[in-house]
Structure 1
Amino acid sequence: MEDEKRQSTVKDAHGQKNNQSQLNNNHKIALCGVLIALAMILSYLESLVPIHMAVPGVKLGLANLVTIIALQKLDLKSTVVISVGRIILSNVLFGNMAVLLYSLAGAACSILIMTALKKCRVFGLVGISVAGAVFHNLGQILVAVCVMENVRIFYYMFILLITGTVAGVAIGLLASFLLKNIRI
């Protein structure tokens, strides 16, 4: 009789654990959806403010704010889903499908370097953000060189290094502020 009670307790505890695990999974999926929507909104708002620079495509990268926060608070898989989801949906809804490859390459380079720097714990959030911005630009330049078959495009990298650093500092500081003042 006592053995049956113990087994029923294990089943109940196991059932609760599964329910809790499913609840956490559902919460993570919902959170990813909300973060994709937020990133899309930031991306759209940024597209409404034209920045006239000598180099096409220079922007602050407000949507990357969501990626940095996701990288700090969620796992790598969720961060990739949020970033790729935002890029695909934003390009389909607001943008130009021709830039999809550039955006995906930039995001891949950015997430790779930010993940590596986060794991080595040498840089703070602002340093990680700057590296992410610079590598995002590098990924896009590499695609442009391949697509246009012109290595002279690398000349833009100097300007993109400067603008990426400035944008990375701004986004990193904003992400630091938000992470201290919001609960995810």
Structure 2
Amino acid sequence: MRKKVALLGVFLALALICSYIESLIPFYFGVPGMKLGLTNIVVVLLLYFYGTKEALAVSFMRILLAGFMFGNAFSILYSLAGGLLSLFVMTLLKKTGWFHMIAVSICGGITHNLGQILVAMVVVKNYYIFGYFPFLFVGGWITGLLIGLLAQEIYTRTKHFIR
């Protein structure tokens, strides 16, 4: 039990480091709020190494801590919406056993953006903002693919050491 808690602490630290690195990268696609999603590598790995509860715990803690350190209340709200919807969808897809880690990650990237755009529509009370979603869909697909490829490679190389 102690070993597992310590490893989850390491995963949380890695996720916070990824959040910090991402906050330093001047990455702009022309769509407000679009990011690389580096922390999703950690979430996908946790989902495959341990399961939903552990991925949820680390993801939730990372969103709160990163929001207080690098963001604000709105960034926490948007991240929670995207992160929780994304994790829910990735968990369902993983449990079916029909999808490869890369496809799960792509769907996670897309639904993360969907969760955020839905919250944005409610917060700003403007439903036309959904017009951004096609761009966010493509961005989520591309970043989900890249994150999935990295996560798959890390998982393949480390699955013998972590459990």
TM-score, normalising length from structure 1?
0.85
Residue 41 of structure 2: aligned partner: 65
Is 2:127 aligned against 1:151? yes
SS in 1 for 2:65: helix
Deviations 1:84-136 (A, max 9, x none): 01110111112222211110010110000000000111110110000000000
What one-letter code is carried by the residue in structure 2 that aligns with 1:59? K
Distance 1:29 1:55 in 2: 38
Residue 13 of structure 2: aligned partner: 37
Q: Which moved more, 1:128-137 or 1:51-60?
A: 51-60
SS in 1 for 2:99: coil
Distance 1:81 1:97 in 2: 19
Distance 1:77 1:89 in 2: 18
Residue 107 of structure 1: aligned partner: 83
Q: Which has the larger radius of gyration?
A: 1
Match of 1:133 among 109, 122, 134: 109
Is 2:58 aligned against 1:82? yes
- Once superposed, what is the RMSD of the aligned Cα atoms? 0.8
TM-superposed CA distance for 1:52, in Å, is 1.9
Aligned residues: 160
Which runs of structure 2 are paired with 1:157-172 in the superposition (5 Å)? 157-172=133-148
TM-superposed CA distance for 1:64, in Å, is 0.6
Match of 2:72 among 96, 114, 120: 96
Deviations 1:7-34 (A, max 9, x none): xxxxxxxxxxxxxxxxxx2111111111
Structure 2 unmatched ranges of 5 or more: none
Residue 21 of structure 1: aligned partner: none
Distance 1:155 1:49 in 2: 26
Is 2:150 aligned against 1:178? no
Q: Answer 1 or 2: higher relative contact order, Cα 8 Å, separation at least 6.
A: 2
- Runs (4 or more) in structure 1 with deviation over 6 Å come to none
Distance 2:3 2:51 in 1: 13
Distance 1:91 1:147 in 2: 17
Match of 2:97 among 114, 121, 143: 121
TM-superposed CA distance for 1:41, in Å, is 0.1
TM-superposed CA distance for 1:54, in Å, is 1.7
Structure 1 unmatched ranges of 5 or more: 1-24
TM-score, normalising length from structure 2?
0.95
What one-letter code is carried by the residue in structure 1 that aligns with 2:23? S
What one-letter code is carried by the residue in structure 2 that aligns with 1:175? A
